[in-house]
């Protein structure tokens, strides 16, 4: 067992908070503004960790455990991905179901924590979060289905590893469609434009930001970090799909992952600069479109 899975995991955990900064900076640059520093999220996290927590008197343990579950599930989900291009820390048949299940558990905990405050705003955010996730879940599984069909492997490490490198050229059309679907899914799962707007300041129009209104201090830091980590995880999925790194030396593979993640963040920024947030009732259509791309990917392989 090489140390590279651990090294790359630490690397992803370390660079994850830079990704939202890069996206926001790109958006600011393209819209003619200066924007906040790329490393702003690190500063925010450091500040939040030093701060005190304020709990609402309405809340119970559910509210306090929510951020912890959200971050813990995101971290464990990261151990299932072959971040160094070869192996994952944890890999077994059907671990892709565990990947989706872990993200689901994190979402469940966050939604319940939101409802625990008894605030209508957080109820609204929770309702929107589950609506988006109900449509996002099938898209994720359809994307995984493409990978299973392409590689014949049932674990994330297997399907993103050597087999993918071997069949990559043959299945490129399907994989490209899947990468686009996964990118759209990443926008939805991490609450970016056009699904949600992290830059907005009006509670009535937000999704993710509005569930976490009442969290403060280190717990808010955990939520912000988990959100950035989720962006990094989806980024890693997209990068692994488009650039199979199984045949490269692990250090080079790690570097490519790093470059890919930055490129993904820039891509998110470009999307944010070039389009507005969709109306709430259009969100299902956006995700159904992503699902349709994945279905086309599946059909191309079932031929």
Binding mask 255-274 for other proteins (x = CB under 8 A): --------------------
Kindly identify the residues of this chain, within the stretch 27-56, that bind other proteins according to CB under 8 A. Answer: 49-50, 52-56
| Cα diameter, the chain | 59
Quick check: 69 binds other proteins (CB under 8 A)? Answer: yes
Nearer to other proteins, 129 or 272 (CB): 129
Closest CA to 138 of 260, 290, 14, 268: 290
Kindly identify the residues of this chain, within the stretch 74-113, that bind other proteins according to CB under 8 A. Answer: 75-76, 79-80, 90-98, 100-102, 104-105, 107-108, 111-112
Using the contact rule CB under 8 A, the part of the chain among 16-24, 28-36, 189-197, 218-226 near other proteins is: 218-226
How many residues sit close enough to other proteins to count as binding (CB under 8 A)? 85
Number of Cβ within 10 Å of residue 133's Cβ equals 18
Using the contact rule CB under 8 A, the part of the chain among 123-131, 177-185, 236-244, 252-260 near other proteins is: 123-131
Burial code of 262-293, b = ≥16 C-beta within 10 A, e = fewer?
A: eebbbbbbebbbeeebbeeeebeebbeebbeb
CA atoms of 206 and 128, how far apart (whole Å):
9
Contact (CB, 8 A) for 51 and 216: yes
List 28, 30, 131, 258, residue binding other proteins (CB under 8 A): 131
Using the contact rule CB under 8 A, the part of the chain among 22-30, 119-127, 164-172, 245-253 near other proteins is: 119-127
* Residue 54, CA distances (Å) to 59, 66, 213, 217 in order: 11, 15, 12, 8
Q: How far is CA 7 from the centre of its chain?
A: 20
Using the contact rule CB under 8 A, the part of the chain among 23-31, 137-145, 243-251, 254-262 near other proteins is: 137-145
Binding mask 145-174 for other proteins (x = CB under 8 A): x--xx--x-x--------------------
CA atoms of 42 and 269, how far apart (whole Å):
19
Terminal Cα-to-Cα distance of the chain (whole angstroms): 38
Nearer to other proteins, 64 or 199 (CB): 64
Nearer to other proteins, 75 or 255 (CB): 75
CB of 100 to other proteins, least distance (A): 7
CB of 132 to other proteins, least distance (A): 9
CA atoms of 84 and 89, how far apart (whole Å):
10
Contact (CB, 8 A) for 170 and 184: no
The backbone torsions φ and ψ at residue 39, rounded to the nearest 5 degrees and listed phi first, read -95, 15
Q: How far is CA 69 from the centre of its chain?
A: 16
CB of 301 to other proteins, least distance (A): 9
Quick check: 115 binds other proteins (CB under 8 A)? Answer: yes
Cα Rg of the chain, angstroms: 19
Quick check: 128 binds other proteins (CB under 8 A)? Answer: yes
List 15, 22, 86, 137, residue binding other proteins (CB under 8 A): 137
């Amino acid at each position: 067992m090489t140390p590279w899975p651990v090294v790359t995991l630490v690397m992803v955990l370390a660079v994850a908070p830079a990704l939202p900064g890069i996206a926001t900076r790109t958006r600011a640059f393209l819209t003619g503004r200066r924007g906040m520093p790329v490393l702003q999220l690190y500063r925010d996290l450091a500040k939040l960790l030093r701060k005190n927590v304020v709990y609402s008197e309405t809340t119970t343990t559910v509210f306090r455990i929510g951020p912890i579950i959200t971050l813990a599930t995101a971290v464990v989900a990261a151990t299932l991905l072959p971040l160094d291009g070869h192996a994952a820390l944890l890999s077994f048949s059907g671990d892709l179901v565990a990947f989706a299940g872990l993200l689901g558990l994190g979402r469940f905990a966050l939604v319940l924590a939101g409802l625990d405050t008894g605030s209508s705003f957080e109820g609204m955010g929770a309702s929107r979060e589950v609506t988006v996730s109900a449509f996002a879940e099938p898209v994720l599984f359809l994307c995984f289905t493409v990978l299973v069909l392409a590689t014949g492997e049932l674990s994330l490490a297997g399907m993103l590893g050597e087999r993918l490198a071997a069949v990559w050229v043959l299945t490129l059309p399907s994989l490209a469609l899947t990468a686009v679907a996964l990118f759209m899914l990443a926008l939805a799962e991490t609450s970016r434009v056009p699904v949600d707007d992290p830059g907005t300041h009006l509670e009535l129009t937000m999704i993710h930001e509005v569930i976490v209104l009442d969290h403060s201090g280190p717990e808010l830091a955990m939520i912000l970090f988990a959100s950035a980590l989720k962006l990094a995880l989806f980024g890693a999925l997209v990068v692994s799909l488009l650039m199979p790194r199984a045949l490269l030396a692990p250090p080079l593979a790690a570097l490519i992952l790093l470059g890919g993640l930055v490129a993904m963040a820039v891509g998110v920024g470009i999307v944010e600069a070039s389009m507005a947030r969709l109306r709430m009732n259009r969100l299902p259509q956006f995700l159904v479109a992503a699902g349709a791309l994945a279905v086309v990917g599946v059909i191309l392989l079932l031929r």
